Amino acid sequence: NQEIQKMAAEMHKILLDSPKIIEAVQDCFGFSIETIKKYNLGWSQKEKMHCLMPVLWNRLSIPILAKTQKLISIRFWHVQGITTGSTSQVLNLVPRTEAQTFWASQYRDRCKIWIVETEPDAILLSQYVKSCGKDSVVVSTIGIGNDIPIDFRTKDFAHSDVTFFVRNIRAAIFKARAIALSMACSPKIAVIPEPYTHIIDILTNLGSMAGISFLEKMETETSQSNIKTIKGTNKSSVFSKMVSQDNYKEKQDVDISIEKTFIKVLSDIISRPDYFGYLYANTIVSELNRIQPNCMGQRWHWRIVLGCLRRIGISFIRGKRTKKGVPILLNKNCLENLK
């Protein structure tokens, strides 16, 4: 950890001492010099950062912090026009980590949260939100797996007004759906309209006040139902392929909501003679992945299952996770109120 901190500090100094690189970073991402200093952004200069792999040279560095504000990783971003080596948009010093660039414990006291897909978009939006005197908290998803810190899934955020701004790309929308279904607050999903692609496009093209007002309008006009049906996709359902297993032989080429399919699978499991009110989330996960292995741009997992149970309003008791999975106590009649 000390080595990572030392690297971050050194790259931050390199960037501050390089006016031409600062100009390129500002042109590419829109950051002010105050923002560069605030988030300790840096530059992995090839001639000075010999400790890094060559693929990480000449990139913008963004320190990744845990919720305790402890530096645990660094993400390296491609800067258009000057990045050398790999053409990958972003690379990581530490492969996998549950971290966040803007996490702080006081967020749970804030009622409005905006989630965006990448750290640069979150940094820029935070900069614009502050300049406009707004009270919104901006956080970014974790790049690897496009997830969010586990804390956002807790009941502390159950009543927060959360909006997820996502690109109008099918895979991005599906991942946003998966995240939304696993969160207690059921965030709204606002799809960025054309001709814009990223948050940076909206902010740099419209300016600070007009850009923030545009996002606020998107937030207002986006309803909770968009978790089920999102504008910009060809179909509102992700279940649109032919399946041939057991009770799922029908051709599913029409819109079927996530909830309806989930309830059908759950009903089949708890109606079995060997069900006595107790099962593992992995049992549901396995059945759902058997039917549709590429749900929402990824495979089903236990967090999405628990999120579906909460969203649909099915009461359950969750046990401590074991090697077999997450145990769930479900009443055999739990679906009767939904019929």
Q: What type of residue is 276?
A: F
* pTM recorded for the entire structure: 0.65
Sign of CA pseudo-dihedral 58, 60, 64, 70: positive
Predicted confidence at residue 98, as pLDDT, reads: 52
Q: Are 325 and 280 in contact (CB under 8 A)?
A: yes
CA 142 to CA 145: how far, in whole Å?
A: 7
- Cα-to-chain-centroid distance, residue 61: 20
Report the share of the chain in percent with pLDDT over 70.
Answer: 73
- The SS3 assignment for 159 reads coil
Spatial contact of 78 and 90, defined as CB atoms under 8 Å apart:
yes
Pairing of strands 327-329, 278-280: antiparallel
Backbone torsion region of residue 76, taken as left when φ is above 0, otherwise alpha when ψ lies between -120 and 50, otherwise beta:
beta
DSSP annotation of 142 reads B
If one compares 188 and 158, the residue with the highest pLDDT of the two is 188
155: enclosing H helix or E strand: none
Q: Quick: pLDDT tens for 297-338.
A: 556 777 778 877 877 778 777 777 777 778 888 877 777 766
Strand duo 42-43 + 112-116: pairing: unpaired
Backbone angles phi, psi at 172, to 5 degrees: -65, -40
Q: Looking at residue 37, what is its pLDDT?
A: 94
Residues 204-245: tens digit of each pLDDT: 888 889 999 999 988 888 865 444 333 333 322 222 222 222
Q: Is 299 helix (H, G, I), strand (E, B) or coil?
A: coil
pLDDT at 110: 59
d(C-alpha 28, C-alpha 201), whole Å: 11
CA 227 – CA 173 distance, rounded (Å): 9
